[in-house]
Structure 1
Amino acid sequence: MTINLPVYMRLWSALLLSASLVSCTSSPSNDSHSHTALSTASASPSPTKPTDVKAPPTASHSPAVSQAPTVVDQPDPDVTPPATAPSHSPEQSSSAVEAATAHPPSSQEEPEEDVIKPTFLTKSPSLAHLKLGNTDKEVVHRYGLPVETYPLPGDDETIEIWEYDGMSVGLNERDKVVYIEINSGMADTGIDSLDYGMKGSQAAEALGIPGDVKTNVLSLEVTGGWLKLDLDPDTQKVISLKLLHR
């Protein structure tokens, strides 16, 4: 059989072209299957190989570091907090101090100390804390200025009388004390066991002189003068005490 060479060449070329087309058509399909397989493998990690864990970035690689918020413990409403000592402000302390000063806790007053009075001495007589011969300045220093003054004429000289509450003081022309009288319980005698209004018998015992129930005057001679006590005729109580210059 005689084959025409040109015809044969054309047939062979056609076959080669067909084979090439078939190869090109099947190639994209295979690539698609290959991509699908790779994607599935990436999405589903292998059960036998653990997934790699990346370390968190350090401060040197991260521009900003976020810190976890501080957790503040909230008080439990069902738990009673422990008792604490109350705090006092300076103003409150100052007010407490002022209140304590204004109202002392104790309502009882402290008893006054007893004033020790001297006994009457005939060699150094005194009455109402004054002695015969004291100056007017000493009287003013002790009792201040008198409430009233008036002259009392005498046989030899005029005495100036200074009146105080419950007592009188007589000064001579040389401003020396020559007369002291207590005529009220408002004045202090300054002598132990000798007071205005006491019984004459008790006064006589205190002075160491005999007491006569029939007399209204008790007298005692002292250095530089006399001590005289006038008694009430009815009650026999002391109504006046006098220290006189001789």
Structure 2
Amino acid sequence: MPFYSPSRLKICAAILLSFALASCNSSAEAPHSSGASADPPPATVSPETNSPARPSSKPVTGATKEPPLKEEPPQHQPDIQPSASAPTVETSTIQPQSKPPSKPTEPIFEPQSPSLASLKLGASEKEVVKHYGAPDDSYPLPGDSNTINIWEYDGLAIGLNERDKVVYIEITSNKVNTGVQGLSYGMDGTKAADLLGISAGAKTNVLALEVSGGWLKVDLDPDSRKVLSIKLLKDDI
């Protein structure tokens, strides 16, 4: 039998003890150190697909994002028809152009109702003043049977009898309107004769037309044959 000294026995015992301690530590740490040997967690089955649900690979870092709300379609507004009793009235901004007042048309000379310078034979003194105002001058003109009072205006002479009625009218200027269509002082004598329906000879210096209650006379210039004066007078003067 070999002989072992006490020092060798202590060394052998220490070596055996250290192997025993190392073996115990390795067996205790074995289930925690190996991650591959651990059983995987049981898979969850989705009730809708009957297949295992895989865990999300991205970690959840915030609150769950809610899906966007669906916009409701605009409600249809019923068309409001205008009331038939209240029609829409459009106001025009266009102003109508004002027309200048038209001049009254001069009448054609009527022998049955003669007038000259807008006065008729037998017109009153008030009518004369209404048309022409007070005369520039006046004087009496004695006649065979009576005296006539002559009122003088610029280019116009009016004779009134003792009853203040017009018996005489004479135009001697183109400043005075005759009141007869086409008839004027200074016009050609031949045209005046045609207008009044009078036949005038080449040597005639006076155009005479009988009218109701008197006469219409037109004096012509002997040389130029132009109208020098136009007279309307009663047949008794």
* TM-score of the pair, normalised by structure 2: 0.56
User: 2:156 is matched with which residue?
Assistant: 167
In the alignment, does 2:144 pair up with 1:155?
Answer: yes
The within-5 A match list for 1:84-163 is: 113-163=102-152
Deviations 1:12-69 (A, max 9, x none): xxxxxxxxxxxxxxxxxxxxxxxxxxxxxxxxxxxxxxxxxxxxxxxxxxxxxxxxxx
CA distance in 1, matches of 2:185, 2:211: 20
User: 1:200 is matched with which residue?
Assistant: 189
Larger helix fraction of residues? 1
Amino acid paired to 2:143: G
Cα offset, 1:148, TM superposition? 0.3
SS of the equivalent of 2:115 reads coil
User: 1:93 is matched with which residue?
Assistant: none
User: 1:52 is matched with which residue?
Assistant: none
Larger strand fraction of residues? 2
Amino acid paired to 2:127: E
User: 2:219 is matched with which residue?
Assistant: 230
* TM-score of the pair, normalised by structure 1: 0.54
CA distance in 1, matches of 2:177, 2:207: 19
Cα offset, 1:112, TM superposition? 6.3
Deviations 1:62-82 (A, max 9, x none): xxxxxxxxxxxxxxxxxxxxx
CA distance in 2, matches of 1:135, 1:129: 13
Amino acid paired to 1:146: P
SS of the equivalent of 1:122 reads coil
Deviations 1:103-131 (A, max 9, x none): xxxxxxx8663331000000000000000
CA distance in 2, matches of 1:203, 1:157: 32
User: 2:231 is matched with which residue?
Assistant: 242
SS of the equivalent of 2:195 reads helix
CA distance in 1, matches of 2:131, 2:103: 20
CA distance in 1, matches of 2:107, 2:202: 27
Which runs of 5 or more structure 2 residues have no equivalent in the other structure? Answer: 1-98
- Percent identity over the alignment is 61
SS of the equivalent of 1:146 reads coil
Amino acid paired to 2:185: Y
Corresponding residue pairs, total: 138
Deviations 1:149-180 (A, max 9, x none): 00000000000000011100000000000000
Which runs of 5 or more structure 1 residues have no equivalent in the other structure? Answer: 1-109
Cα offset, 1:209, TM superposition? 1.2
Cα offset, 1:213, TM superposition? 1.6
SS of the equivalent of 2:119 reads coil
Taking a change above 3 Å as real, the CA distance of residues 238 and 111 of structure 1, as seen in their structure-2 partners, is farther
Question: What root-mean-square deviation, in Å, do the aligned CA atoms of Structure 1 and Structure 2 show?
Answer: 1.4
> Which one has a bigger Cα radius of gyration?
2
Q: Spell out structure 1 runs of 4+ moving beyond 3 A.
A: none
Amino acid paired to 1:175: D
CA distance in 2, matches of 1:202, 1:169: 26
Match of 1:177 among 166, 169, 174: 166
In the alignment, does 2:206 pair up with 1:217?
Answer: yes
